[in-house]
């Protein structure tokens, strides 16, 4: 019998690659996805994708969603309380593990494990220490479709926001930029691929600067 797990889900490429691997796993059964949403903006925290598109995405994936709501500019204590409620619920249901899409940030992994341990939970990291160039190529070759929604201008210029994550994007990344944006260089929204029942429909809206990042607003169609 497969072990039930919950998945920390951002809607971006690493999350979908993680789901892709877990979907083929003989060990785990995904109970639900857990996503942090900033209530002031009605958007996925950090990524800036509209809540409506998150729900359309998860519906297209055919997976249950649990939204963890936090206010804008929430500090770490507020974030931990909100996430803690989700982990407490998982523990009450007999779930013992939470999956994350982190790849090589050891300090972030250690933080997640420490926080989970307070609720008797453990973390699993299906993509851990995999080559990020190979991972993005795998993402593209599998037929997943994604667009960048947030770019750090200290690492990439404005032309990289709102772009398709394809071979051309990968080949044009400047030296020193991680192909999966693992250092926060960019975030993405996946709208189609093997796990999707139907593509998520949207139009590209305006590009804005907020909190020192470029954001491309995706508008549901």
CA distance 211 to 121: 33
CA distance 143 to 16: 12
| Judgement on whether residues 12 and 52 belong to the same structural domain of the protein | yes
CATH code: domain of residue 117: 3.40.50.620
| Judgement on whether residues 36 and 63 belong to the same structural domain of the protein | yes
- Domain limits at 200? 132-220
Tens of pLDDT, residue by residue over 68-81, are 999 999 999 999 99
Tokens describing residue 210: 């907020």
Domain edge (last residue) among 101, 124, 147: 124
- What pTM was estimated for this model as a whole? 0.96
| Judgement on whether residues 138 and 210 belong to the same structural domain of the protein | yes
| Judgement on whether residues 90 and 189 belong to the same structural domain of the protein | no
φ, ψ for residue 134 (rounded to 5)? -65, -40
Q: What is the mean pLDDT of the chain?
A: 97
| Judgement on whether residues 13 and 111 belong to the same structural domain of the protein | yes
Tens of pLDDT, residue by residue over 21-55, are 999 899 999 999 999 999 999 999 999 999 999 99
């Amino acid at each position: 019998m497969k072990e039930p797990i919950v998945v920390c889900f951002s809607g971006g490429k690493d999350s979908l690659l993680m789901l892709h691997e877990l979907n083929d796993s003989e060990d785990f059964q995904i109970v639900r996805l857990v996503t942090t949403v900033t209530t002031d903006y009605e958007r996925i925290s950090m990524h800036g994708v509209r809540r409506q598109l998150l729900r359309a995405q998860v519906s297209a994936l055919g997976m249950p969603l649990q939204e963890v709501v936090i206010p804008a500019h929430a500090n770490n204590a507020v974030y931990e309380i909100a996430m803690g409620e989700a982990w407490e619920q998982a523990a009450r249901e007999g779930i013992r593990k939470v999956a994350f899409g982190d790849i090589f940030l050891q300090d972030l992994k250690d933080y997640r494990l420490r926080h989970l341990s307070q609720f008797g939970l453990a973390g699993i990291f299906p993509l851990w220490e995999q080559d990020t160039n190979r991972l993005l190529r795998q993402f593209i070759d599998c037929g997943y479709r994604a667009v960048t929604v947030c770019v750090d201008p200290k690492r990439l210029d404005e032309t990289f926001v709102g772009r398709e994550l394809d071979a051309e994007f990968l080949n044009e990344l400047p030296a020193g930029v991680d192909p999966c944006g693992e250092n926060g260089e960019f975030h993405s929204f996946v709208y189609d691929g093997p796990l999707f029942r139907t593509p998520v429909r949207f139009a590209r809206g305006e590009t804005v600067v907020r909190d020192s990042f470029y954001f491309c607003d995706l508008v549901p169609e």
